[in-house]
Amino acid sequence: MNKLKKALKLFITFFKIGAFTFGGGYAMIPLVQHEVCDKNKWISEEDILDIVAIAESTPGPIAINSATFVGYKVCGVLGSTAATLGVVIPSFLIMLCIFFLLDKFEEKPPVQYAFLGIRACVLALVIKALISMYKKCSKTWVSYTVIAFSVITSVVVTKFIPINTFYIIIASAVFGLISYSILRRRAKK
């Protein structure tokens, strides 16, 4: 498959993902995994963890960062451009429609119930992504410590102390790197 066809397929794939994902990047992860790993076999399931880590630790929305990373890995700069546009355009069009329509219909019970259903679906997708990532993550004291630190700081501390989650992500990454270097030194001895 030549690069242009592959880029077009990336655009269509991420357009579908962008059009049918509600709730942000974490809700998108199961769809990305299905489309790029299971269906198209562009990347491995282990790469999904790397994608999430990179997309989470770089500036910008996780959905756009994930699409850009997958697109680049599959088809270089052309692929990253196609995948990024594919995931962004549906959101842009939907937000444009919502901007014009929501004021007129937001008080209607069917609209309120639709959003209630969408929220429940988003929660289920986020939990599915969490379970999927947990299964592929290494089960060591380091990973459990990083998880505990991240959960405690992001859920408990940010509730009571106004701290930017960026610092929590950086602290978790630093802790993981320090732990990795300590474990590597011990393995060499």
Range of the domain at 93: 3-137
The model's pLDDT over 8-47, given as tens digits with 9 standing for 90+, comes to 999 999 999 888 877 666 777 888 888 888 888 888 877 8
Name the residue among 124, 120, 40 with its Cα closest to residue 79. 40
In angstroms, the CA 133 to CA 141 distance is 17
- pTM flag (> 0.75): no
d(CA 180, CA 158): 27
Residues 113 and 165 placed together within one structural domain of the fold: no
- Residue 24: the pLDDT is 67
- Would you place residue 1 in the very low, low, confident or very high pLDDT band (cuts 50, 70, 90)? low
Same domain, 111 and 153: no
- Same domain? For 76 and 14 the reply is yes
Is residue 126 helix, strand or coil? helix
Above 80 in pLDDT, residue 172?
no
**Given a cut of 70, is residue 61 above it in pLDDT?**
yes
Q: Indicate whether 25 and 81 sit together in one domain.
A: yes
Task: Tell me: do 34 and 80 sit in the same domain.
Answer: yes
**Are 145 and 133 members of one domain?**
no
pLDDT cut 70: percent of the chain above it = 95
Largest CA distance in the chain: 69
Question: 78-129 pLDDT, tens per residue?
Answer: 999 999 999 999 888 888 887 777 777 777 888 788 878 888 887 787 777 7
Instruction: Give the model's pLDDT for residue 131.
Output: 79
At 79 the pLDDT is: 93
How far, in Å, are 23, 106, 114, 133, 142 from residue 138 at the CA level? 27, 45, 38, 10, 9
Q: Which amino acid is at 93?
A: L
Q: CA torsion angle for 123, 147, 158, 120 (degrees, to 10)?
A: 0
**3 state SS of 7:** helix
Percent of the chain whose predicted confidence (pLDDT) is above 90: 14
* φ/ψ bin of 24: left (φ > 0), alpha (ψ from -120 to 50), beta (otherwise): left
